[in-house]
Amino acid sequence: MSHVDASPSSTKPPAAGSWPAHGWVGLGLILVSWPLNWLLPGLRSHLLFFPLWLGYILTVDAVVLRRSGSSLLRRSPADLARLFLVSVPVWWLFEALNLRLRNWEYPGSEHFGPQAYFLLSSIAYSTVIPAVFETAELLATLPWSERLNAGRPFAAGRRLRLGLFGIGAAMLASLLAWPRIFYPFAWLSLLFLFDPLAHAIGRPSLLAHLEAGRRRPLLMLALGALVCGFFWELWNYHAYPKWTYNVPGLDFAHLFEMPLPGYLGYLPFGLELYPFTHLLLPRPPALRL
């Protein structure tokens, strides 16, 4: 079974010059939370990360609505809420991998007990998938992107799925065995493991899009994560608590805390989020990619 993200709506776009009310809320959250997150003394980011990124999500959703006449929040507030929920276990999976990799750490987290740390971290992690998917939807409104949905279809049969799954398993085993060498596989192995699985059981998958000749969802998700990555690193730079990196062999040419080569990891990360989401949710969210 393949899956096609929701087709364009017949709803007329808002009148020229209008701006949705939730867009004003989003801009307000950013304008208040960003300066406070950078300028307040002492611990503050554990309280400001969520409103800052909620502001980003609402603002991007408003831009999508203004450009296309439809948006995820307008189509299905419940679907958007479910993305917040599913985002929490997905990012905790990467935190579990980092117990072995030790590629990032959180200065300031030592001030919190285990229960408070888990709760505050989970609230922050809930914004990851909504931010990436909203940004991907925004990029999909660009006129040139439609050409990417006219590619040549190909068959993603059982042999290909097994091959990709085997590559993912080998990558995961390698990064767990030799984390200082194969740590980049953290951003590829899970994609190769979970997207073929989603495809095999009839859940929405990137392979299904490629089978139908649709390349746009892949590029939009990858670029959406890269755009979010820029803002994650920007807003983290003067935050506290914050995250810092230990990236063997690539610890140079930093843009904020992240070494420039590290930004490449955001591209497959955006792709990984798609099968994760559709494997965990009981029904597909109303995305338009």
pLDDT per residue as tens digits for the range 66-115: 999 999 999 999 999 999 999 999 999 999 999 999 999 999 999 999 99
Q: Span 110-138, mean pLDDT?
A: 98
> Cβ distance 130 to 84 under 8 Å?
yes
- Whole-number Å distance between alpha carbons of 273 and 204: 12
Q: Span 245-251, mean pLDDT?
A: 92
- Whole-number Å distance between alpha carbons of 188 and 33: 33
Q: Span 125-147, mean pLDDT?
A: 95
Q: Span 226-251, mean pLDDT?
A: 96
- Please state the separation of Cα 44 from the chain's center in Å: 24
- Whole-number Å distance between alpha carbons of 2 and 6: 13
- Please state the separation of Cα 229 from the chain's center in Å: 9
- Higher-pLDDT residue of 153, 201: 201
Q: What is the mean pLDDT of the chain?
A: 93
Q: Which helix H or strand E contains 254, and what residues bound it? A: strand 254-255
- Residue-wise pLDDT for 13-37, tens only, equals 444 348 999 999 999 999 999 999 9
pLDDT of res. 13: 46
pLDDT of res. 145: 87
Beta bridge partners of 259: 254
pLDDT of res. 175: 96
Written as one letter, the residue type at 39 is L
Q: How confident is residue 6, by pLDDT bands cut at 50, 70 and 90? A: low
Residue 4 clears pLDDT 50, i.e. is over it: no
In the chain, alpha helices (H): 21-39, 45-68, 72-75, 77-101, 114-125, 128-139, 158-177, 179-182, 189-200, 206-211, 216-236, 266-280
Residue 245 clears pLDDT 70, i.e. is over it: yes
